[in-house]
């Protein structure tokens, strides 16, 4: 029983991470209407820049660890959001008007560029952050077995849930959220009513990049590093997770992602670990096939 409770506790931070990523991805997919794995690359890129510039601040600028981490986080956020603005305005927005399907190819190219940029900037080194906020908090104890989570896990979970809550409130209770919904339903009709679909596209792209950046910083602060190939893996996972949850509703996408995080943790605890990603991707493909809705002409 205690082991099961510990695995459920372990699933909470993973589920929160997947939910926040899927929520952010659904915002931009609503206006783009095409698969964009650049989102996962931005997530990984923000983590890689955090590690790189925290190392620069600590080893070359001789900052104390908290200051070096703040420096790394600030530079990482600036790089990631600046890159997303450049990509959204100069590549994705023009392609969405002229040739929407080429967005998929452009996203793959941008993912490779971001991965290689981070790799070359760090000289292909695996840089690790020192552990911090790793004190275990005990929730339950039985027979000497303790159910625990660390401070950084709890902090990450709370921050990611706040991101989802804040995003949901913006989409539901603000004028921009209503305009975003109008553009996702019919961009041309929204334009005829006075809304700027291009502006909504850019704001949505930046909003999703902000969510990816926050998640990248939080995940890297917990795991201690970010792999160069993580962008592709997370990009594919988020793309398929959001598809299962439903692109039209970010909260549904977040809920589907949280369930996947729970399933992934449970499989890692009770099933063969080497088969975990294969089983999860197979499950996602099956759910996509079962949940597909095709229009039937009357």
- Could you give phi then psi for residue 135, rounded to 5 degrees? -70, 130
Instruction: Confirm whether 43 is domain-assigned.
Output: yes
In a domain, 13, yes or no: yes
For residues 207-235, average pLDDT: 86
Going by the DSSP 8-state scheme, the letter that residue 146 receives in this structure is: E
Phi, psi (degrees; rounded to nearest 5) at 246 = 110, 110
In this prediction the pTM is 0.90
> What pLDDT, on the 0 to 100 scale, is given for residue 244?
61
**Selection from 71, 90, 80, 1 nearest residue 39 by Cα:** 80
Look at the alpha carbons of 84, 88, 92, 96 in this order and tell me if their dihedral is positive or negative: positive
Domain annotation covers residue 257: yes
- CATH code (residue 36): 1.10.3470
At 226-267, the pLDDT tens digits run: 876 776 777 777 777 666 655 668 888 888 888 888 888 888
Tokens in use for 101? Answer: 């399907």
pLDDT confidence of residue 296: 37
296 found inside a domain: no
Domain around 132: 2-291
Q: Where are the beta strands (DSSP E) in 178-259?
A: none
In tens, the pLDDT along 106-123 reads 888 888 898 888 888 888
Tokens of 241: 């997770």
The pLDDT assigned to 157 comes to 94
Number of domains in the chain: 1
Say what the pLDDT of residue 298 is. Answer: 40
pLDDT category of residue 295 using cuts at 50, 70 and 90:
very low
| DSSP notation for 150-171 | EHHHHHHHHHHHHHHHHHHHHH
Does residue 298 lie within any of the structural domains? no
User: Among the ranges 112-121, 155-164, 265-274, which has the highest mean pLDDT value?
Assistant: 155-164
3-state DSSP helix/strand/coil percent for the chain, to nearest 5?
75, 5, 20
Tell me: pLDDT of 293 over 70: no
Contacts of 34 (CB under 8 A, 6+ apart): 96, 100, 101, 103, 104
- Looking at every residue in the chain, the average pLDDT score rounds to 86
Mean pLDDT of 59-72: 92
**pLDDT band, residue 178 (cuts 50/70/90):** very high
> Residues for the chain: how many in total?
298
pLDDT of residue 71: 96
Is residue 140 included in any domain, yes or no? yes
For residue 77, tell me if it sits in a domain. Answer: yes
Whole-angstrom distance, CA of residue 167 vs CA of residue 241: 18
Q: What is the pLDDT of residue 242?
A: 65
pLDDT tens-place string over residues 279-292: 887 877 777 666 55
Flag whether 297 is in a domain: no
Q: pLDDT > 70: what percent of the chain?
A: 93
């Amino acid at each position: 029983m205690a082991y099961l409770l510990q695995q459920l506790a372990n699933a909470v931070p993973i589920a929160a991470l997947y939910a926040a990523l899927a929520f952010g991805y659904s915002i931009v997919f609503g206006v783009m209407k095409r698969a964009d794995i650049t989102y996962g690359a931005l997530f990984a890129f923000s983590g890689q820049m955090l590690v790189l510039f925290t190392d620069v601040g600590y080893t070359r600028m001789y900052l104390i660890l908290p200051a070096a981490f703040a420096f790394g986080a600030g530079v990482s956020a600036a790089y990631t959001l600046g890159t997303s603005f450049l990509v959204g305005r100069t590549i994705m927005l023009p392609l969405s008007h002229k040739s929407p399907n080429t967005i998929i190819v452009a996203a793959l190219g941008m993912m490779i560029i971001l991965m290689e940029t981070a790799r070359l900037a760090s000289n292909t080194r695996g840089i690790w952050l020192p552990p911090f906020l790793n004190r275990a908090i005990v929730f339950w104890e039985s027979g000497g077995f303790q159910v625990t989570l660390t401070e950084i896990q709890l902090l990450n979970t709370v921050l990611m849930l706040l991101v989802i809550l804040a995003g949901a409130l913006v989409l539901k209770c603000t004028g921009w959220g209503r305009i975003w919904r109008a553009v996702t339903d019919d961009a041309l009709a929204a334009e005829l009513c006075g809304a700027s679909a291009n502006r909504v596209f850019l704001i949505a792209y930046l909003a999703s990049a902000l969510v990816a950046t926050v998640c990248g910083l939080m995940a890297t602060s917990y795991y201690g590093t970010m792999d160069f190939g993580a962008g592709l893996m997370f990009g594919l996972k988020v793309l398929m997770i959001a598809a299962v949850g439903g692109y039209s509703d970010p909260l549904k996408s977040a809920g589907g992602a949280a369930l996947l995080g729970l399933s992934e943790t449970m499989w890692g605890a009770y099933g063969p670990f080497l088969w975990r990603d294969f089983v999860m991707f197979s499950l996602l493909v099956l759910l996509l096939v079962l949940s597909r809705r095709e229009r039937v002409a009357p």
